């Protein structure tokens, strides 16, 4: 079976060119077509000689994540279904707000973590996305942003389907092409990777000296409650999470963001707010409070306006930076926690 050309290393590509009597400088041209121009076929590579194009077609595959369907919310959010080479589907979202357009990107097909509040967690994990499939979402949503909003995407969040840090290498490889001059040249400061709290991977991010932002899906700073809603916490508890975040901050000086969905009667009381305030003393951080979005078959409800207001007031009195995120795209199941391939 032919390899996907976007899955081989530059060294392999260079050796291939040399063995077939082609100049090494063709590698730069090929990479430009693959990562800067986002080519979907070898035939589009017009600056490359026909003989070499034919050889590339004979020797490699060039698979793409293609937009299959899209649906627009009344608030301007657009959800996209991408079809992959094996006919699997993933979802990505464009979220416009003020001067920004944020692209929400998937990293896996399904998710193995089974967080009890998340629609994606109800899907059986299928496989990791390749670096090319991750890159394609960003590249094509950027084109769609220009078409629909008149400007390119300004921010990227890896908060779609899957746990990004369980697809570590492909995630970082795709971010390299998203951020480098070889690819799209987007600043890493505009990228946020969200994790449910894979502690060893968080420390590896620090060791790899990443420059993008890190968000932690926290949702409770009380072990018993967090374990009930996020089974991962049974193995990787809050103490281990704090240690990994501290390590990450000390090595990178990047302030983490804690994502906290407010569930009615579960984690929205004053005791939970007090616990969260103490947890936040671990390192400089900020908190994004998120309203819960309904998922069919899951028996959670969002916090009341009163409890939400009390919760925010308490955190602010403790000098914690806190933002309340109002969900977008709920009417098309495109909001946080709702991605489950429901487009028809």
Q: What is the phi-psi region of residue 48: left when phi exceeds 0, alpha when psi lies from -120 to 50, beta otherwise?
A: beta
Q: Is 32 a catalytic residue?
A: no
Q: What tokens appear for 211 in the block?
A: 């420059």
Q: What is the phi-psi region of residue 173: left when phi exceeds 0, alpha when psi lies from -120 to 50, beta otherwise?
A: alpha
Query: Phi/psi at 282 (nearest 5 deg)?
Result: -60, -45
In this structure, are residues 97 and 110 in contact, taking their beta carbons and an 8 Å threshold? no
Of 104, 111, 285, 336, the active-site residue reads: 336
Q: In what order do the strands lie in the sheet with 321-325?
A: 66-72, 78-83, 89-97, 100-104, 155-158, 191-195, 213-217, 256-262, 285-291, 321-325
What is the C-alpha to C-alpha distance for residues 170 and 172, in angstroms, rounded to an integer? Answer: 6
CA end-to-end span of the chain, whole Å?
33
Q: Is 58 a catalytic residue?
A: no
What is the C-alpha to C-alpha distance for residues 176 and 172, in angstroms, rounded to an integer? Answer: 6
Of 91, 144, 259, 291, the active-site residue reads: 91
Q: What is the largest CA-CA distance in the chain?
A: 72
What is the C-alpha to C-alpha distance for residues 223 and 279, in angstroms, rounded to an integer? Answer: 12
User: Which residue numbers are catalytic?
Assistant: 91, 336
């Amino acid at each position: 079976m032919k390899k996907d050309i976007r899955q081989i290393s530059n060294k392999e590509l260079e050796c291939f060119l040399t063995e077939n009597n082609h100049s090494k400088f063709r590698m730069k041209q090929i990479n430009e077509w693959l990562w800067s121009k986002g080519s979907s076929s070898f035939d589009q590579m017009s600056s490359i000689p026909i003989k070499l194009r034919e050889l590339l077609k004979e020797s490699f595959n060039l698979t793409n994540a293609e937009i299959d369907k899209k649906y627009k919310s009344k608030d301007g959010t657009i959800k996209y279904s991408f079809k992959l080479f094996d006919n699997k589907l993933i979802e990505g979202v464009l979220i416009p707000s003020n001067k920004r357009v944020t692209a929400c990107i998937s990293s896996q097909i399904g998710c193995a973590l089974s967080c009890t509040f998340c629609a994606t967690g109800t899907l059986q994990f299928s496989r990791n996305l390749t670096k090319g499939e991750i890159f394609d979402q960003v590249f094509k949503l950027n084109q769609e942003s220009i078409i629909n909003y008149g400007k390119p995407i300004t921010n990227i969040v890896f908060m779609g389907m899957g746990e990004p840090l369980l697809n570590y290498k492909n995630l970082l490889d795709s971010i390299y092409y998203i951020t480098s001059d070889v690819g799209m040249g987007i600043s890493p400061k505009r990228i946020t990777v969200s994790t449910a709290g894979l502690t060893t991977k968080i420390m590896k991010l620090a060791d790899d000296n990443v420059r993008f932002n890190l968000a932690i899906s926290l949702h409770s700073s009380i072990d018993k409650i967090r374990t009930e809603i996020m089974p991962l916490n049974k193995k990787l508890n809050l103490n281990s999470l704090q240690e990994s975040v501290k390590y990450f901050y000390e090595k990178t000086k990047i302030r983490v963001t804690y994502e906290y969905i407010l569930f009615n009667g579960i984690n929205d009381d004053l005791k939970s707010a007090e616990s969260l305030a103490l947890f936040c003393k671990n390192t400089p951080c900020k908190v994004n409070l998120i309203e819960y979005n309904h998922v069919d078959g899951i028996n959670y409800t969002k916090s009341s306006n009163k409890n939400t207001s009390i919760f925010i007031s308490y955190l602010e009195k403790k000098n914690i930076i806190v933002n309340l995120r109002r969900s977008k795209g709920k009417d098309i199941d495109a909001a946080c926690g709702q991605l489950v391939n429901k487009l028809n």
